[in-house]
């Protein structure tokens, strides 16, 4: 008998029907134990293993238990991998309540009150401190501010900055936070 000839058409059609039926059962079994689209992926992997390593097994009575055993091994491997990668503890993005882009009313009120306190304190500062703060807010460096004021030593600007910030803090009530 010549083994090099392809199998007869009825045998191929019968094997394909058997494999299609097995695939349906594998997907159903996997879907009952895991969630998401992983059941389809696992069924595909099981079918590949059957084709590559167990092509000689043809009877349904032998194929079905073999498929289930392979599937259990694949599911266990998938769970171990998910655990190693920390995927089992992750939350779905749909399950997480993300804060909106705008602050809540309480935070907005606190910011508004702070801005009002800061504005009132800055109004009470001497002119030199106001000018120094304005230049710093424009993004100028201490060296550039020194040139604007026409000073010989940069340490003078450092001293003025320290004294102005200390005075501003005192005018704010000794703390940046609101006092009750």
Domain boundary among 88, 104, 135: 88
Tokens coding 167: 């005075």
Closest-CA residue to 20 (of 70, 67, 56): 67
In a domain, 98, yes or no: no
Q: Is the pLDDT of residue 4 over 60?
A: no
Q: What pLDDT does residue 37 have?
A: 76
Residues 130 and 81 in one domain: no
In a domain, 102, yes or no: no
In a domain, 99, yes or no: no
pTM score, two decimals? 0.43
Residues 175 and 127 in one domain: yes
Residues 80 and 26 in one domain: yes
Give pLDDT tens digits for 98-138.
777 788 889 899 999 999 999 999 999 999 999 999 999 99
Residues 61 and 123 in one domain: no
In a domain, 112, yes or no: no
**Domains: count for the chain:** 2
Q: What pLDDT does residue 123 have?
A: 94
Residues 136 and 82 in one domain: no
> Confidence class of residue 1 from pLDDT cuts 50, 70 and 90?
very low
Q: What pLDDT does residue 79 have?
A: 86
In a domain, 162, yes or no: yes
Tokens coding 12: 């191929």
Task: Write the DSSP string, 36-77.
Answer: TTHHHHHHHHHHHHHHHH-TT---HHHHHHHHHHHHHHHHHH
Give pLDDT tens digits for 135-164.
999 999 999 999 999 999 999 999 999 999
Computed over every residue of the chain, the mean pLDDT equals: 84
Closest-CA residue to 136 (of 114, 158, 166): 158
CATH of the domain at 157: 1.10.10
Residues 59 and 125 in one domain: no
Domain boundary among 70, 88, 106: 88
Enclosing domain of residue 57:
9-88
In a domain, 71, yes or no: yes
């Amino acid at each position: 008998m010549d083994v090099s000839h392809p199998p007869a058409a009825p045998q191929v059609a019968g094997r394909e029907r058997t494999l299609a039926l097995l695939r349906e059962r594998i997907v159903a079994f996997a879907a009952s134990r895991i969630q998401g689209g992983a059941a389809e992926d696992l069924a595909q992997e099981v079918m590949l293993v059957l084709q590559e390593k167990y092509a000689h097994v043809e009877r349904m009575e032998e194929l079905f238990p073999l498929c289930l055993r392979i599937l259990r091994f694949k599911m266990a491997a998938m769970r171990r991998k998910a655990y190693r990668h920390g995927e089992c503890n992750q939350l779905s993005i749909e399950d997480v309540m993300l804060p909106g882009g705008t602050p809540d009313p309480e935070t907005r009120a606190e910011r508004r009150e702070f801005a009002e306190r800061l504005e009132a304190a800055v109004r009470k500062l001497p002119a030199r401190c106001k000018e120094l703060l304005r230049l710093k807010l424009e993004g100028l460096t201490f060296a550039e501010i020194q040139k604007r004021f026409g000073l010989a030593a940069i340490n003078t600007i450092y001293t003025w900055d320290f004294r102005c910030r200390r005075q501003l803090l005192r005018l704010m009530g000794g703390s940046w936070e609101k006092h009750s």
